[in-house]
Amino acid sequence: MKSVWNCLLENVGEWRGSFTSLNLQGEILSEQPTVVTLSASADRQQAKIVVDYQQQPDRRVEIPFTSVSRAYLGFDDGAFSQGGMQLAPFGEFGAEQGLLADQQRRRLVWQYRDRQLQGLTLIREALPGIDAFQQAPLTVQDLLGTWSGIAETRYPDWRSPDRVTTQLRLEKVGNQLQSQLDWGDRTIESLAPIQGSQLVFVGKQQAVTIWLLPGGVSCACPTELALRSPFQLELGWLVSRDRRLRLIRSFDASGAWTSVTLITEQRLSDSSQVRV
């Protein structure tokens, strides 16, 4: 297992793409082309992030650093999660998560105020020579079938990761999406109405909305964070037809950040038929 620092350095490169602001319906409000460069010194002990906003030549952000925040966790392939460590009843709260594959990167930023989701920022990027915008928006049809996965969970106290096998079955039943998740020895079943590019799963504690977004991306979270209820922020990416990555930042009932889980899934079978 790599150190957190070396996990971060898996993101070294010149990432060309855009920051896309979305409203709570998943509609694009604005798009800002960017070049984000992460570089490291020869001894890999120092790093620097430079953000250039292509439509604002005078706007440039440079951030040198030699360590990572306690609120940051990374994985060996470069996937990462950073953000709030404790939810408070009022004030700002948020997180950023990123997934890497095939010389591309997908990031998502959540922005809450007073426990209410204010908006989402989708960031699609690729290294030079790769088109970060070739993937169409994700659809329910893209996800149907049975997915076999490995879930690796890492913790803020840097204890040894946990790994379990998963199996996710997604089936369209009328105008609803039926989900059955086998996680280790647990089984979780749920049903959500399909509302355009959104699905809403109503759980025992709070509702979770899933947005199907451009670039093969999905995002799942509550639109309102309830006090004394655990919650999760999830970023998903359909990298190719039969390969999917998911990254989940988890919080307990006290609002404290507890872990980050990276799930790597392969599709075992299609389930393209609709049951009425």
pLDDT, tens digit, for every residue of 87-99?
999 999 999 999 9
**Whether the predicted pLDDT of 173 surpasses 90:** yes
Write the single-letter amino acid at 106: R
As a dihedral over the C-alpha atoms of residue 232, residue 235, residue 240, residue 241, rounded to 10 degrees, the angle is 50
Which are the contacts of 23, defined by CB distance < 8 A and separation ≥ 6? 29, 119
**Cα(3)–Cα(6) distance, integer angstroms:** 5
What does the pLDDT read at residue 216?
A: 97
pLDDT, tens digit, for every residue of 15-49?
999 999 999 999 999 999 999 999 999 999 999 99
For 2-265, which CATH superfamily applies? Calycin beta-barrel core domain (2.40.128.20)
CB 260 within 8 A of CB 154: yes
What does the pLDDT read at residue 275?
A: 52
pLDDT, tens digit, for every residue of 101-131?
999 999 999 999 999 999 999 999 999 999 9
Tokens coding 271: 């389930």
Give the position of tokens 């998502």.
108
* pTM for this model (two decimals): 0.95
**Cα(234)–Cα(64) distance, integer angstroms:** 28
User: Of 106, 128, 136, 130, which is closest to residue 20 (Cα–Cα)?
Assistant: 106
